[in-house]
């Protein structure tokens, strides 16, 4: 039996560097960091006081006021991304067979920021002051369920919460669903809205975030010798993934093939990567095997590049162990939009596809003093115009999650 191939036909996103696929790509090419002093709340008592915030997002631009009110920001970002993705794919929900359309989403924290806000309301005014939408707004599955309700998709539906690998895991699960013949069309990606005092402060207490408060635009600096932690961000990215025969039959524009997926766990530590990187390397090899690719086929690696001391060193070992000494372009794009946790893998999947389509591989923003311990000769400091036919995108997360996606150019 011939394996069903999965292709990406639509991209929708809400990010600190742009809303919509054209704005996202323009933001990547512009190369300017969106990190600024946080103004969503007063960061009193925190070491880190900077974040990558979405500056101009109004949910009522995508849905009516009543529907927007019934969702927290996490779900609003997801639904907005989904609406743009379906439009970008040239699809209308009414034309799809609902039972053959599904949704797979990922988020590290789900609606935790709204829960935090409502907890404050409760402490001040008791139950009568709490939003009646609390119960169905904050659970992790709210994103995929709200997307399903928005479009009437009654096929497979799932939201995972595998930390910063969540968005990539969701896209990988979508690939598996297409290959198994469970759906013809799947919306998949990640959404995250973690910018609230306690949620933000929890990572600050771990000393995982940058304290470059006086120079926010240079704070997120993957693979740089002077990196001092990640910068928290927010956002969403949704891909429309179709069975190739379904997309071809309707004459769809195709961004590329979602060709492979690998998922492993370090089983080592909740916040420290396995120093050898062997399980992350295994995930990368699994993605290549799933895509029927060899390392020699890959021209570009979109690195997880979190800008943390340990991750960047470990990831460079992983890339070197799989690709050896052959030239492969590598860049980390979190210098632009920070680290939106579970949404990052989905945003980076979109950037990887757009890079293949445009033959333009983004640089690593803010990489000014390469860290020799990170074997930094692998990582590009400049944009490259390269004809690339295949690429991979790495995503790693707390709990030792390693998720890798492999793509082919259309």
What local confidence, expressed as pLDDT, does residue 82 receive?
A: 98
pLDDT above 80 (res 102) = yes
> Both tokens of residue 171?
């896209």
How many residues would you count in the chain? Answer: 410
The one catalytic residue in 13, 119, 145, 164 is 164
- Cβ–Cβ under 8 Å, residues 237 and 88: no
Query: Considering the chain, what percentage of its residues have pLDDT values greater than 90?
Result: 88
- Our measurement of the distance from residue 154's CA atom to the centroid of its chain's CA atoms, rounded to an integer in Å, reads 24
pLDDT grade, residue 284 (50/70/90)? very high
**Using one digit for the tens of pLDDT, what is the confidence trace for 157-170?**
999 999 999 999 99
Q: Domain 261-409 adopts which CATH fold?
A: Peroxisomal Thiolase; Chain A, domain 1 (3.40.47)
Q: 6-256 with 261-409: one CATH topology?
A: yes
Q: What is the mean pLDDT of the chain?
A: 95
**Using one digit for the tens of pLDDT, what is the confidence trace for 178-192?**
999 999 999 999 999
Average pLDDT of the segment spanning 199-226 = 96
Please state whether beta strands 401-409 and 185-192 pair in parallel, antiparallel, or not at all (unpaired).
Answer: unpaired
What local confidence, expressed as pLDDT, does residue 321 receive?
A: 94
Superfamily of segment(s) 6-256: Thiolase/Chalcone synthase (3.40.47.10)
What local confidence, expressed as pLDDT, does residue 327 receive?
A: 82
pLDDT above 60 (res 1) = no
Average pLDDT of the segment spanning 198-218 = 96
Clarify whether 164 is annotated catalytic: yes
What are the boundaries of each domain within the chain?
A: 6-256, 261-409
What local confidence, expressed as pLDDT, does residue 3 receive?
A: 86
Higher-confidence residue: 387 or 182? 182
- Cβ–Cβ under 8 Å, residues 40 and 53: yes
pLDDT above 60 (res 393) = yes
């Amino acid at each position: 039996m011939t394996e069903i191939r999965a292709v990406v036909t639509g991209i929708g996103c809400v990010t600190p560097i742009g809303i919509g696929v054209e704005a996202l790509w323009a933001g990547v090419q512009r190369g300017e960091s969106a990190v600024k002093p946080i103004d969503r709340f007063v960061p009193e008592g925190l070491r880190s006081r900077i974040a990558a915030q979405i500056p101009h997002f109004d949910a009522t631009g995508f849905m009516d006021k009543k529907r927007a009110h019934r969702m927290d920001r996490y779900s609003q970002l997801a639904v907005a991304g989904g609406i743009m993705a379906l439009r970008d794919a040239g699809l209308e929900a009414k034309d799809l067979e609902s039972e053959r359309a599904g949704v797979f989403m990922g988020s590290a924290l789900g609606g935790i920021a709204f829960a935090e806000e409502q907890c404050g309301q409760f402490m001040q005014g008791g139950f009568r002051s709490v939003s009646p939408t609390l119960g169905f707004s904050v659970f992790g599955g709210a994103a995929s369920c709200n997307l399903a309700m928005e479009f009437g998709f009654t096929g497979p539906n799932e939201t995972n919460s595998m930390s910063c690998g969540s968005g990539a895991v969701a896209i990988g699960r979508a690939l598996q669903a297409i290959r198994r013949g469970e759906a013809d069309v799947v919306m998949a990606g990640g959404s995250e809205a973690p910018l609230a005092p306690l949620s933000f402060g929890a990572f600050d207490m771990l000393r995982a975030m940058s304290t470059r408060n006086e120079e926010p635009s240079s704070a997120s600096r993957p693979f740089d010798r002077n990196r001092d932690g990640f910068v928290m961000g927010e956002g969403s990215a949704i891909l429309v993934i179709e069975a190739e025969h379904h997309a071809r039959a309707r004459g769809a524009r195709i961004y590329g093939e979602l060709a492979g997926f690998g998922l492993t766990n370090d089983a080592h530590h909740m916040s420290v990567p396995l120093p050898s990187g062997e399980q992350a390397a295994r995930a990368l090899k699994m993605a290549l095997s799933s895509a029927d690719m060899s390392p020699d086929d890959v021209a570009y690696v979109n690195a997880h590049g979190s800008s943390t001391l340990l991750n960047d060193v470990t990831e460079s070992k992983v890339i070197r162990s799989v690709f050896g000494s052959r030239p492969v372009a590598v860049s980390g794009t979190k210098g632009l939009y920070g680290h939106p946790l579970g949404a990052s893998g989905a945003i980076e999947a979109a950037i990887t596809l757009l890079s293949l389509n445009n033959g333009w591989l983004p640089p690593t923003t803010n990489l000014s003093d390469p860290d020799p311990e990170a074997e930094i000769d692998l990582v590009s400091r400049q944009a490259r115009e390269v004809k690339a036919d295949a690429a991979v995108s790495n995503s790693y997360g707390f709990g030792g999650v390693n998720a890798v996606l492999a793509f082919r150019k259309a």
